[in-house]
Amino acid sequence: SLSMPTKNGVTAVLAALTALLFIFSLSLGGADISWQDIIKFASGGEIDEIKETILLEIRLPRVIMAFLIGMLLASSGVVVQSVFLNPLADPYIIGIASAATFGAVAAYLLKLPDFYYGVFAFFSAAILSVLIFKLSKKGKSIATLLIIGIAFSSFLGAFTSFATYLIGEDSFKIVAWMMGYVGSANWEKIAYISVPLVLSMAYFYFKRFELNVILSGDEEAQSLGVDVEKMKKRLLIVSSLAVAFSVAFTGMIGFVGLIIPHTLRMILKTSSNTVLIPISAFAGGFFLLACDTIGKSVLSPTEVPIGVVTAFFGAPFFLFLAIRSSRSI
């Protein structure tokens, strides 16, 4: 069982690092705003009006947006891994994110308001996740699941590429968005994203005991009175909601849901969802904010898309996991 100091220790370290990262990230950008200015402003002091506007309207929404999206992706990653009983399952790798992109691009083509990007993304992601779940039950192996996910991703990716081609000159917007971008964050988008975040986190945490029972296998869970099939479907649909809204507002940001839960399982030596759901959400927020900060600063003033940064960390990590799990088979 998990010793409390480990969990509390990880949380404390994360909280301290997040506070430092917040200040550092807010100080990055074209306008020169020092960390002293930021601390002064945060503690209620007066700072230059232009600096205040830049902080409140541009930098703060971006920092918060990166953190919230990281929370969404990491918490849904924990759940998808528990549902499929597989550390390699991740909303991006099994194709849910491609489906969400497909929905969001469809909304863009129909010239609908921003909000509908999330709605369309959700419906296409939810339909695909249930479909993948049904197909993966027929072929129990993990390889089957990944192949199904990759096949759907490729098919939907072809549609998205074709749509991008049709859009013509405006297509740069979609290309940039597909690489992941939190720079267009504003308070309205944060309000939109907060709703699925709060709902999905509450649902995951509320169902944490059932999720733990699922970890011991379907038969065991069934014997303890859990309707496994229904439970898994619902959890997948809620995970799709989380991922879909994240994709709709910030594009494709992969690997967060794969790296974070897995790293925490190794550090904390636990699979308990009671512990992993809240800590993964926090760590996911920190990780994505760190990636955005790296993206902003490494080639400044040019920005590296956040999805490129997460893939830079995530692809080798995925390879490491795949090799390790193939050895244990």
**What mean pLDDT, rounded, does the chain reach?**
86
pLDDT band at residue 329 using 50, 70 and 90 as cut-offs: very low
Q: Decide if pLDDT at 118 tops 80.
A: no
Which of 248, 306, 246, 242 is CA-nearest to residue 106?
Answer: 248
Higher pLDDT, 199 or 127: 199
Q: What is the pLDDT of residues 257-316, one digit of tens each?
A: 999 998 898 888 888 999 999 999 999 999 999 999 999 999 878 889 999 999 999 889
Mean pLDDT lowest among 166-170, 209-213, 266-270: 166-170
Backbone phi, psi, residue 125, to 5°: -70, -40
pLDDT in tens, 126-139: 888 788 777 777 65
What average pLDDT score do residues 230-245 get?
84
Q: What are 100's two structure tokens?
A: 């969400």
Taking the alpha carbons of 151, 154, 160, 163 in that order, is the dihedral positive or negative?
A: negative
Q: Is 141 left (phi over 0), alpha (psi -120 to 50) or beta?
A: beta
Share of the chain above pLDDT 70, in %: 94
Determine if residue 252 is left, alpha or beta; phi over 0 gives left, psi from -120 to 50 gives alpha, anything else beta.
beta
More confident residue, 204 or 133: 204
φ, ψ (nearest 5 deg) of residue 87? -70, -15
Tell the residue number behind the tokens 């301290």, with chain if given: 16
Instruction: Read off the pLDDT of residues 41-90 as tens digits, 9 standing for 90 and up.
Output: 888 888 889 999 999 999 999 999 999 999 999 999 999 888 888 777 77
How sure is the predictor about 5, in pLDDT bands with cuts at 50, 70 and 90? Answer: low
